[in-house]
Chain A
């Protein structure tokens, strides 16, 4: 198993307390003053060059947000967040529309290099057109560079920053933005609606199979800057798109707030595959610092025979509050959720999914693998529901938890609601630890305790790793092992 070997070597290579990506890029930043009020919302809107309808949309969200309260039902605890003590806008200084890598701030390129993200642009420029991944790299809050645009254009695929889409494709944005996650959906989604600064927009036209995997790397950089991404992906009739999202963040002492909203819309016969590797700074060995990740992700299988598949590998963040969901509205539509959530140190994860069966013959599948180590708390929270008219709805759920060490917690909170006799729901969950006998067996064959643990953990999460595109799977496997470093005594 080469990946395991590699993983183990990588684990050895890094200092335990040294978060691999904990460095700060020093570039000039253009930012709004701390705090939030209507003026700041207008400032952000102006900065983004929003049309007036968008400014109004944001202000309406802001006014609504003022009446809302933070949700408290998740099994996470943290000191109260002072929303007036955050920066809501920070952008790298514009250098008049970069056209090539040379024009990009070298400090930014250096950051990517340290992250080890293969910015395919370089290969393309060198004529090595081997991999076909389009990267819409987000640095702090502004899309700095978007590649592959030309080739995508040929296929008719729109892949750009959300700000650009608001300006260039208002008819699509107005039709779909907020149609899956309404402005009033929840505290963080509403906040996002008011102040989102950037994110990706994808439109795949009817009958088009997107010629490459689309990818965005998010990165939180500026001190105390909340990151409010907004992503909107529309797969028109009979189209297909696979979208990859990967995240890293630099080390900070203060907690960083992140509240993204992702909306997916699949029309008749369309398919969207959305994969995430989340690796934000989880806090130090004592649990200080780390990112607060309060994300709303939802897909709407709006058309017949549509399909939306979420795959996530969550290893980072101090607190994760995230439930990528599917509304199975179209008849025969299908939703999938594959998740690996690893928690170590003092991390708190409350994550899962919702599969809401509304149409007939809808199917869903949930595979969740939680791994808790250190002093972390890891909760799976999921809802499967079938509406009265969701004849023949089918769900299969499997959620397994693995505990490493006796100071952590693993919790499972499934909600299963059936309102029709023809629905068949099956749910199974187990919690266990790596058995001493398994470890001994592996060690008898020559593996060290650490190698044996990595091997067994990789076996435990295999069903989910298989859902990721190859390159992502390898990266994810490394991340999981790095995250569990030091957890085996």
Chain B
């Protein structure tokens, strides 16, 4: 599914990723853990194609296609979805309108027919129900005045609707109380499947109790410094990141 080889990235002359290499297989849920400033969010932005990041070396392939050559919207159409740590507010644009515009742009880019409005409404309503998002929220401007938890649920709703191949969850657990965390995790788990992979970025092990990963990677100083199974997360919880900071330095 996703192949990252020897990725070097800087932003405003500051080196953030230093030869990161990572493989995520079809259907795999990979967790990325690491201390603050280890480059986790940068990794998510670089995969999604945010402009400010300068890729100095390395490659990022999605099913063999070079993502680094694509615009962010082309990557989205190719199946990359980033659930933002801080979802943006778009004043004046109703959530439902936004969802329709996004979905139909992607379908068009893939050469598929646009979805009819009734069909779209049906899908959105179904997904909203599962995520316990009240219907009237769909009429409000996207993310404007939403609580932190509502914004995160809205990200998962979009994920469900857009049916991406490769989902990145960037600190999706931050700012969520336990009930919201459970709703969001259930939403994500419902989307797991053979053809869909996940990269779950988190600082704490807590989220991984609900979204159980197949593999866990530890990041420090812009590289993956250790990989293992889900037990690695528990080990980190017990011992902290101190070992890895020194190891990487």
Contact = CB atoms under 8 A, between A and B. Distances in A.
Q: CB–CB under 8 A between A and B in the complex?
A: yes
A23 interface: no
A176 B89 CA distance: 49
Interface string B84-96: 1001111111100
B105 A451 contact: yes
- Which of A440, A445, A446, A459 has the largest number of chain B CB atoms within 10 A? A446
Interface in A270-310: none
Contacts of A446: 73, 76-77, 102-103, 105-106, 109, 162
A444 B167 CA distance: 12
B71 A445 contact: no
A247 B80 CA distance: 45
For the residues of A in contact with B, the DSSP-based class is helix
Interface string A306-347: 000000000000000000000000000000000000000000
Nearest to B97: A1
B165 interface: no
Contacts of B75: 444
B52 to A, nearest CB: 8
Contacts of A437: 88
Interface stretch (A103-111, A217-225, A460-468): A460-468
A415 to B, nearest CB: 27
A403 interface: no
Given A441-B87, A446-B106, A460-B91, A4 B101 contact: yes
Contacts of A383: none
Interface in B16-62: 48-52
B217 interface: no
Nearest to B105: A446
Contacts of B87: 441
Contacts of B102: 442, 445-447
Contacts of A461: 92
B93 A459 contact: yes
B111 to A, nearest CB: 14
A458 interface: yes
A459 B101 contact: no
B172 interface: no
Contacts of A100: none
B88 A1 contact: no
Contact of A441 (B88, B91, B103, B141): B88
A455 interface: yes
B105 A441 contact: no
Nearest to A369: B92
A180 B162 CA distance: 56
A436 interface: yes
A102 B102 CA distance: 47
B100 interface: yes
A279 B128 CA distance: 41
Given A1-B101, A4-B97, A451-B105, A445 B158 contact: yes
Interface of B: 48-52, 71-73, 75-77, 80-82, 84, 87-94, 97-98, 100-106, 109, 114, 117, 141, 158, 162
